[in-house]
Structure 1
């Protein structure tokens, strides 16, 4: 049975639940993985989401910060959520939908200084990515039908940012972060699904920041949101969509959804 999976950092579900409903109506994903819901598990609007067609939810929420969730039209099994780096800051949930193991992550942004000795936030980010790679290898993720999605806060390739030379020393696009991403891909036997459909050197972005109001109009973007699949699903990848139109909506998230169709 076909499966359409979407990932989206909504940057506050409470503020953008109407955007989520509009996106769901336009694109009809079977499963939506959300990051930065910024609410507790107890305050998650399960009834409202059921009304727009998503009665099943796995939530790992936190008041005001972080938080991830998976909402689904279909029943799922094996709900899970893990604590990373010894901090229960609500950055992971997982389910199994239609025989596909689905992991939803929100990796720490890492602050502004790309030096783990001077910046605890950057050290946390690198530790988080290291733990993800160790988990993928130890759990033999590569041997299963698995999809790993989320805001991983790394633009690993040259054309994943609007200006590589200018930004290669900026957190999110440094060589050390790209190396950590490569180790994760290798450990999990993971395929970069967006680049499977849209290979370099074509630019590919999912995030346009708020600091510069004309960022989206001038296409000063980054690719921070990822969809990674194991080798067992390579031949099942049918289509990829970047829902750029959501960035033009009133009071948008700075991220846009990424949608993968599996056949």
Structure 2
């Protein structure tokens, strides 16, 4: 089973490249974040015509939003609110006995101080709530995938310069500590670092402001796919599809994908 995650930054604007990724890399399940599309305006037909009959959406106009496309039927599909906000940042489905949670964790604004930056507080509260949610709803024996745009780069080589970014939101000490605590709740495996050694650079996002993004390679690994213990032994591959970051009207994120047995 191939499971993909991608912050698409508008599903309607970038539907052509989503369809291109579907055709070229054939994920069985594709989870998008930042779809920026209300449910009533979602372009279902194009994706169903491409073989993705099963679609779970949680969208709103102009901001946030999630979708999960699947070639397999859903055994369950839910939408969750976080931190008391109905802002389309968490949904999940069950496919072939695996619960797949699609997250779009808040970016957090610019100032890493909760006393003056409500957006940063919202981000930390979201992660804290997820840290409570996971062990309340699952055990380490359950088959669970947590993925999406976490807006946090937890390790030194998940950013182009840990020293220069240590006080920049997405790589601050508190964010890195909290996202690791969340991962450790059910001993999830960070699939990227399962395949890519900790001392090697690995990114999934490059700013639009950097026109020659590939040459400078000032990236961050903000997008993640975690799997629970029962799925770890079935991990076969992890990929970041850099080509998609170079297409016409790209997202600033590249798609990431894991392949599991079964």
TM-score per shorter chain, which class? over 0.9
Query: How large is the Cα RMSD of the aligned pairs?
Result: 0.9
Once the two structures are TM-superposed, the CA of residue 140 in structure 1 deviates from its matched residue by 2.5
Question: Residues 129-144 of structure 1: matches in 2 within 5 Å?
Answer: 129-144=127-142
Once the two structures are TM-superposed, the CA of residue 98 in structure 1 deviates from its matched residue by 1.2
- SS at the partner of 1:121? helix
What number of residue pairs does the alignment pair up?
261
In structure 2, the residue matched to 1:223 is: 221
Once the two structures are TM-superposed, the CA of residue 174 in structure 1 deviates from its matched residue by 0.3
- SS at the partner of 1:202? coil
Q: Measure, in 2, the Cα distance between the counterparts of 1:242 and 1:60.
A: 25
Q: Measure, in 2, the Cα distance between the counterparts of 1:99 and 1:14.
A: 31
Once the two structures are TM-superposed, the CA of residue 74 in structure 1 deviates from its matched residue by 1.2
Cα deviation digits, residues 50-100 of structure 1 (max 9, x gap): 011111100000100000010111111110110000000000111111111
Q: 1:80 aligns with which of 61, 75, 78?
A: 78
- Residue 154 in 1 paired to residue 152 in 2? yes
Cα deviation digits, residues 193-223 of structure 1 (max 9, x gap): 1100002100000000112222333111000
Which deviates more, 49-58 or 126-135? 49-58
- Residue 117 in 1 paired to residue 119 in 2? no
Once the two structures are TM-superposed, the CA of residue 157 in structure 1 deviates from its matched residue by 0.2
Conserved 8 A contact 1:160-1:204: yes
Give the ranges of 4+ consecutive aligned residues of structure 1 lying more than 6 Å apart after TM superposition: none
Q: Measure, in 2, the Cα distance between the counterparts of 1:141 and 1:47.
A: 37
In structure 2, the residue matched to 1:10 is: 8
TM-score, structure 1 length as denominator? 0.97
In structure 1, the residue matched to 2:173 is: 175
Which deviates more, 135-144 or 217-226? 135-144
Conserved 8 A contact 1:133-1:188: no
In structure 2, the residue matched to 1:247 is: 245
Q: Measure, in 2, the Cα distance between the counterparts of 1:243 and 1:101.
A: 24
In structure 2, the residue matched to 1:188 is: 186
Q: Measure, in 1, the Cα distance between the counterparts of 2:123 and 2:103.
A: 12
- Residue 213 in 1 paired to residue 221 in 2? no
Once the two structures are TM-superposed, the CA of residue 142 in structure 1 deviates from its matched residue by 2.5
Q: 2:202 aligns with which of 204, 225, 243?
A: 204
- SS at the partner of 2:148? strand
Q: Measure, in 1, the Cα distance between the counterparts of 2:171 and 2:213.
A: 17
- SS at the partner of 2:189? strand
Q: 1:65 aligns with which of 63, 66, 73?
A: 63
Conserved 8 A contact 1:35-1:150: yes
In structure 1, the residue matched to 2:30 is: 32
